[in-house]
Amino acid sequence: MMNLNFTEVNNYKVVQIEGRIDTITAPDFESGIMNLMSDGVTKMIFDCTKLDYVSSSGLRVFLMAQKNISTNKGMLKVCCLQPSIKEIFDISGFSQIFTIEDSIEYASGS
Amino acid sequence: MDNQDEIRKIQLVNQLDQLETISRFLDELAEAWDLSIPFVMKLNLVLEEAFTNIVNYGYQDNETHEIVLVFEKQNERLLVSLIDDAMPYDPTIAPDPDINLSAEERKIGGLGIFFIRKMMDKVSYQRMGSNNVLKMEKVINP
């Protein structure tokens, strides 16, 4: 199960990801993010405080978002990874690709 | 605890919704064998990647196929066997993705198999008759 909650902080669209992004839920995550992009959102924070699980299907969407936002000269920050999710980011080399912050305040520069 | 309790088996079919069955089964296993949440998460990740690969790429017909998972607890180690009758595929010899590339250069392919090798302590593959047998091993840690 996965839920996305959207808020806004300092001109950043904050996407709070709750639950699991796996093969089953990744398409919903992708369409949620694609909707924001087609609305012209270029500054985003993925708040992963409540993200409990991510597989390669979910990471594919993270990468897609990063590529898309870079192309549009925007900014994507990933915030508040749980230790086991951080480990997956480290192993996959995603820790070098993404700007990872420890708090929403820091990520949004407020 | 008698020997019977140290082996658990689950029979699945080649459909992606079975991933939920795997997750639920792992939760039960965690309780029975006192496995930590991070350990089970890694196990779930590895099994999702392996299972999804088989379902998405392993079959050329539209038939239902059985996929079996066997879990064995041997003292401080957990052994998992994944048995399927998909076409021969050895994930232990798949090339590693280049994890040092930038976002622009990065491709997602191969990451799933890479996780299997990185998360488990030992991974071995055998083709036995018409079956792929993937054996994985990991020390049970907190």
- Check residue B1 and give its pLDDT: 46
Q: Which of B139, B119, B48 is nearest to A91 (CA)?
A: B119
Q: How many domains does chain B have?
A: 1
Assigned fold of A2-108: Transcription Regulator spoIIAA (3.30.750)
- Counting as low any pLDDT under 50, the low residues of chain A are none
**Quick check: B142 contacting A, CB < 8 Å?**
no
Least Cα separation, residue A17 to chain B (angstroms): 17
- Check residue B106 and give its pLDDT: 87
Least Cα separation, residue A10 to chain B (angstroms): 25
CATH number for position B64: 3.30.565.10
User: What are the pLDDT digits (tens) for A73-93?
Assistant: 999 999 999 999 999 999 999
Report the residue of B12, B19, B21, B26 to disrupt the A interface, i.e. the one with the largest count of A CBs within 10 Å. B19
Mean pLDDT by groups of 10 residues along chain B of 142 residues: 73 97 96 94 97 96 97 95 97 90 83 94 97 97 74
**Cα–Cα separations (whole angstroms), residue B63 to B19, B67, B85:** 18, 13, 12
3-state secondary structure of B119: helix
Question: Is there a contact between B72 and B6 (Cβ–Cβ < 8 Å)?
Answer: yes
Give the A-side interface with B, CB within 8 Å. Answer: 22-24, 52-53, 55-57, 59-60, 63, 66-67, 70, 83-84, 88, 91-93, 96-98
Q: Which of B18, B28, B41 is nearest to B71 (CA)?
A: B28
Cβ-Cβ contacts under 8 Å, B49 against chain A: 55-56
- Check residue B141 and give its pLDDT: 81
User: What are the pLDDT digits (tens) for B31-72?
Assistant: 999 999 999 999 999 999 999 999 999 999 999 999 999 999
